[in-house]
A = this chain, B = another copy of it.
Amino acid sequence: MPVKLSAPAAETLLPVKGVQLGYAQAHIRKPNRKDVLVMTLPEGSSVSGVFTLNRFCAAPVTVCKEHLQQGKGIRALLVNTGCANAGTGQQGLDDARASCIAVAQALNISPEQVLPFSTGVILETLPMEKLLAGIPAAVANLQTDNWLNAAEAIMTTDIVAKGTSRTLTIDGKTITITGISKGSGMIHPNMATMLGYIATDAAIAQSALDAIIQHAVNKSFNCITVDGDTSTNDSLILMATGQAGNTQIDEKSAGFVALRDALTEVAIELAQAIVRDGEGATKFMTIQVEAGKDEEECRKVAYAIAHSPLIKTAFFASDPNLGRILAAIGYAGIEDLDVNTMQLYLGNVLVAEKGGRAASYVEEQGAAVMKESDILVRVVLNRGAANATVWTCDFSYDYVKINADYRS
């Protein structure tokens, strides 16, 4: 069950001026579920994207990058679940392009103005007949208040729909931000297996939007892991329709930092929601590594802890088997780490220092922290001034069940 996470109420996901969303049940893989989403943007919108670094990137990712590069002004996004269109060679590219053409025809725009996304099983080709039948159905019900339906339409093994909104005031104008995300397995940074769509009605210059998405993804989706697997399809898209009435924001504008931070907050909430809904998750863990020489070594330690199946199963069991954490710190790859000068905390409890168990530590304290559903693991390296934080979840019977049965 998701850890302290429930689907947002429909009315809490605020419409974003200029954005319309429509969905369809196209039976791509399973009957009776929303599996196709079309989002439309008004002319003049700015759009930025960041994508998986997996060398086996999916066909739609390749096409997304091409269309963003061509700069003809993105006007629509198409998402399907049930099939990732990854590991599909030339056929996959042909299918992704054909689906853009279909959306373009339905909306009277050009195919280069469409971004395609797919998520689901890898190594199978898209059932194009079903997808092409779903597109006009999704276009037919385009609405501004369809964000919760949209969040539901992009789910795969997700248990709950993920979305959030923020408002802020810039130039005396109310700016609205709404984002949705999906993903719960194959979650790893650079990026998570996930799709994320964040829209705002603010007017933002393209260069500022590009800077904001990099900032936001580094603080959010690049800090989460469920299982260490980096997907072929990960995509985060940031869209700005420019209909809020504010003066266009660039990196020197007074409102830039406030807007960047609000968008980053939304990205963090969406990223954490993916971990809270991690496959089989029963615990949400924040791994905070402090006082390292540089951010990279802090991230190495944080990910060594976050990826260890031994640690993840111990958290599942609420077992303060903290020696496993020390072992992970030890093999994280910091060759000159002095284990005698670092400290390990579980929540606020000092667990280990001077290379061993802290004299003050009694297991009951650790056991009490482990019973919580949100747990902080703090490693203080005492080697420098850098920090890094990673969010992850535990490893349960249900993780195995979900992934052993995924295709059945």
Using a CB–CB cutoff of 8 Å, the interface residues on chain A facing chain B are 53-57, 84, 86-92, 121-125, 185-186, 188, 227-232, 307-310, 313-314, 316-317, 319, 321-324, 326-331, 334-335, 337, 339-340, 352, 354-357, 395-397, 399-401, 403-408
Contacts and interface: CB of A to CB of B under 8 A. Distances in A.
Nearest to A53: B331
Contacts of A87: 323, 326-327, 352, 355-357
A232 B86 contact: no
A400 B55 contact: no
Contact of A339 (B56, B188, B406): B56
Given A229-B308, A309-B228, A401-B397, A330 B54 contact: yes
A326 B356 contact: no
A308 B314 CA distance: 19
A3 to B, nearest CB: 17
Contacts of A396: 400
Nearest to A398: B400
Given A326-B56, A328-B229, A123 B352 contact: yes
Contacts of A230: 327, 330-331
Secondary structure of the A contact surface, majority rule: loop
A323 B403 contact: no
A63 to B, nearest CB: 14
Given A89-B340, A309-B228, A327-B56, A404 B356 contact: no
B309 A227 contact: yes
A395 B399 CA distance: 10
B53 A313 contact: no
A123 to B, nearest CB: 3
7 contacts: A54-B330, A87-B327, A89-B354, A123-B356, A186-B327, A309-B403, A319-B404
B401 A337 contact: no
A408 B331 CA distance: 26
Contacts of A122: 321, 323-324, 326-327
Contacts of A322: 123
A321 B352 contact: no
Contacts of A227: 308-310
Contact of A185 (B57, B310, B326, B352): B310
Given A86-B326, A123-B322, A396-B400, 20 more contacts: A53-B331, A55-B331, A56-B355, A57-B330, A84-B323, A87-B352, A88-B357, A89-B355, A89-B356, A91-B356, A92-B355, A122-B323, A122-B327, A124-B323, A125-B357, A186-B310, A228-B308, A309-B309, A316-B404, A397-B397
A224 to B, nearest CB: 15
B327 A404 contact: no
Q: Which 6 A-B pairs have the closest CB atoms?
A: A122-B323, A56-B330, A89-B356, A123-B323, A317-B404, A313-B403
A395 B312 CA distance: 14
A15 to B, nearest CB: 36
Nearest to A352: B87
A205 to B, nearest CB: 31
Contacts of A400: 313, 316, 395-397, 399-400
Contacts of A339: 55-56
A405 B401 CA distance: 18
Nearest to A280: B400
Contacts of A407: 319, 321
A82 to B, nearest CB: 13
A88 to B, nearest CB: 5
